[in-house]
A and B are shown apart, each in its own frame.
Chain A
């Protein structure tokens, strides 16, 4: 870790966003993770995405569980709301917060241990309930804080730093999220911000459960030959299906594309996801095809990345429950606690 505070001085040409903030205004405290940790790159990508989207920092809540990944919300968006919750319980806390105040942007930050082991049930249910959130898993395939045991997302056959082979099957969180009904699903790599930043922007502006699995090499315990989550392995086996641009409102296309090279997905709220195709026949709006493709490539040892699935007509938990459109903290005391009489009425209605 680093002991000095990152100097406040910045590049003289550092641009400002629509709110008059520079990217540096979205930073947090200096990271205490190991030097070179992929998670720090993801933090940098989140900072970049929030800056580009001109998100008002106080309109965003970052919620995490326990683990290296779950420490990272301290290292970005220090002006935002934050809740560092219990191990694996980020989805519950996020769901509760979301129900209470639906107007905030919810960013759930978790890791492979937090979401695929102790919190697997929490993960599954928050997705299937359709909580409007961006759920990012910083996936390094090991338990870094306890010195590098295989995690539940480690691929079968991959080797630990000491050369021991993993004999158990790995959980593919992307496959699970697709099956459980996530309406925006992507996978990316901490070492490729050009791909990662637009995916985060898309997730943050998506209405519905958005899930991103970001492979993030653990430099200390999982960046060796034999690992399937090392910088070298991911770069060798990265199979990107598309490149994403997120457009809020209508902006004309400035770059020239060949016919069929570009695909636009207009979401319910009018935002446009502009996808530059890298794989010929990949259709990111077909859930079944996406799941099949994922399985096929996985069997070939490839890691499929990009925006894998999006449902432009997505809905969320509030839509389904028909809850009030006003955040609870803006409702008056009388509305929130209508009194014994109202309770008696409800009870009577249920008898």
Chain B
């Protein structure tokens, strides 16, 4: 290999530009996957350090409801977690969030100080997670925020639809109070019936965060006759939450495969349901419910029956006695689309006393007049900007389920932040289409020759299970929280499983002597020095093939031999051994703290 200094060297075909904030942000899979981009590894390290309050505040800034989300989040971060790719299961990120919330001290002194009034008025319609996020972001900046809601207490679906055995009311009260303490004017029990009249009240901007409040019904034979024992899932759940309903029949069928259905069946078990079953149209695997929620339901002796399409409600003398279902199977049609086709077997009948219908939710905007200039699409949904959250009326913004249909709490929070940024920029005369870049803080972790300011020793533990309340006890009381949460010891151990993916391997080609020390030590075969090629080719000529196309290659040129350094980010443990074994400091471990810009001076400095 005669590759001297004389060799003509051009730029590599695709040297990675690590100055783009998105490059290393993407490596932090959990943070990238989180709609609110919570800096997960940063707060997990603080939990391991028993700095629960600091860990809580990092969460509070990003996702506003750490205690609530630490129990109820849909956790898009966990399937993304790198630990799941290098071992069996991801870090229990969601439940670690709860550890921070459970163990923090008083945070009132850490809440933002409210700036003097800036003379601008904002209305938030609905007091759910999206609106409360907007209020939290804008109230401290001096905006006069008015929050309207039809219910007695703020919280929206968090309070009305999530069963108490998953989320105690004190947690909701506490986290809502941190927002109301910032001084928004709360107009509770005041449902907004007309956007037109609200628009005429002189608000500088209006945020619509009214959720997806209408549960879908099933119009089948017998629906009318047996109506007394057929309940719409979300309405029934909110009636249970507000203690209007405290019992149900012994035999209950829950229709639907989403998380609402899981909440319905588990609630029914606690209100007297002994034979509760969930029946879904499609397969068990295709259900929308989170795997852990299905697991919890099955753990409470609730069978989930699949490939059964509801056909009729059977009633006798005006009383529901059961339901019939058509048996189906999944087949691919000519175009390869999955379809449910009848198996031809006789219909199946299940006897029951009550049916809970949890087959989806819909948006409903009967209170928005169609003559005020707002554009609606063919599904009768308002036209809303994906990033700006702005409607076709420039000072009206949407967020949460109201914007793009039913999602979840963490998406509602993300929408709230985005809408708050838009409102703040809009009212300061800036172009809201140009979104603010995130703040990036880069800190080298090097402390000594082989000492780092993060714990680089990778823990070998498998994922720890969250302790549960005794089943018999849990089923007795609809308010008894099932999950007991990690205690501090378990929390520490689980936190140690985090790979610190925000501590990045940063390569400086000009000091590299190509000694191969990093290649030899890397436990995951991530690093290769090779001839330059285009990405598709590079992916095959690495020490271990880089087959996960969702993960980037880090390519650096400018090496003495003219080769390129290629690092596959996919399964890097961030253990720092490459940097420890590097004789010249060409590798360094640098923490990239990515801070999504929220409403305030930072978002309007351009």
Contact = CB atoms under 8 A, between A and B. Distances in A.
Contacts of B456: 4
A41 B516 contact: yes
A44 B561 CA distance: 21
Contacts of B577: 2, 4, 6
Nearest to A195: B1
Interface stretch (A30-38, A254-262, A314-322, A341-349): A30-38
A11 interface: yes
A19 interface: no
Contact of A232 (B86, B544, B560): B560
Contact of B575 (A7, A236, A238): A7
Interface string B527-554: 0000000000000000011010000000
Given A11-B571, A40-B581, A6 B4 contact: no
B516 A9 contact: no
B286 interface: no
A11 B582 CA distance: 21
Contacts of B561: 235
Contacts of A192: 1
B524 A217 contact: no
A128 B354 CA distance: 94
A177 to B, nearest CB: 24
Nearest to A9: B86
A350 interface: no
A2 B581 contact: yes
A35 B581 contact: yes
A11 B525 contact: yes
Contacts of A220: 583
A235 to B, nearest CB: 6
Contacts of A11: 524-526, 544, 571
Interface in A34-51: 34-38, 40-41, 43-44
Contacts of A24: 523
A40 B523 contact: no
Contacts of A14: 525, 544
B450 interface: yes
A238 B2 contact: yes
Given A2-B580, A217-B515, A10 B450 contact: no
A84 B99 CA distance: 51
B520 A12 contact: no
A240 B525 contact: no
Contacts of B571: 11-12
B515 A38 contact: yes
A333 B4 CA distance: 62
Interface string A214-225: 000101100100
A67 interface: no
B517 interface: yes
Contacts of B175: none
Contact of A7 (B545, B547, B573, B581): B573
A35 B513 contact: no
A71 interface: no
A250 interface: no
B483 interface: no
A190 B521 CA distance: 15
B458 A1 contact: no
A2 B4 CA distance: 32
Contacts of A40: 517, 520-521, 581
B569 to A, nearest CB: 13
A37 B547 CA distance: 31
B512 to A, nearest CB: 10
Interface string A227-245: 0000110011010100000
Contacts of A44: 516, 519-520
B584 A36 contact: yes
Contacts of B457: 4-5
B108 interface: no
Contact of A235 (B3, B523, B584): B3
A6 B581 CA distance: 12
Interface in A1-29: 1-14, 24
A5 B513 CA distance: 25
A191 interface: yes
Nearest to A40: B520
B521 A191 contact: no
Nearest to B451: A3
A144 to B, nearest CB: 13
Find the residue from A38, A219, A238, A240 having the highest chain B CB count within 10 A: A219
A38 B547 CA distance: 30
B49 interface: no
Contacts of B547: 13
A276 interface: no
A274 interface: no
A219 B516 contact: no
B4 A236 contact: yes
Contacts of B583: 34-37, 219-220
A217 B87 CA distance: 36
Contacts of B582: 35-36
A37 to B, nearest CB: 7
Given A2-B450, A3-B450, A14-B544, A231 B520 contact: no
Given A9-B87, A9-B523, A11-B524, A41 B1 contact: no
A37 B573 contact: no
A9 B524 contact: yes
Contact of A9 (B514, B521, B573, B580): B573
A129 interface: no
Nearest to B513: A231
A193 interface: yes
B214 interface: no
Interface string B204-224: 000000000000000000000
A36 B513 contact: yes
A296 B513 CA distance: 29
Nearest to B579: A35
Contact of B514 (A5, A191, A236): A191
A44 B527 CA distance: 14
Contacts of A35: 517, 580-583
B85 interface: yes
Given A2-B450, A235-B4, A240-B1, A36 B517 contact: yes
Contacts of B575: 4, 7
17 contacts: A2-B580, A4-B575, A9-B523, A11-B525, A11-B571, A14-B525, A14-B544, A35-B581, A36-B582, A36-B583, A40-B521, A43-B520, A191-B516, A231-B513, A232-B513, A235-B560, A236-B4
Interface of A: 1-14, 24, 31, 34-38, 40-41, 43-44, 190-193, 217, 219-220, 223, 231-232, 235-236, 238, 240
CB-based closest 6 A-B pairs: A36-B583, A44-B520, A7-B458, A219-B583, A11-B544, A36-B515
Given A7-B573, A219-B513, 12 more contacts: A4-B575, A7-B523, A9-B523, A11-B524, A36-B517, A37-B583, A40-B521, A41-B517, A41-B520, A235-B1, A235-B3, A236-B4
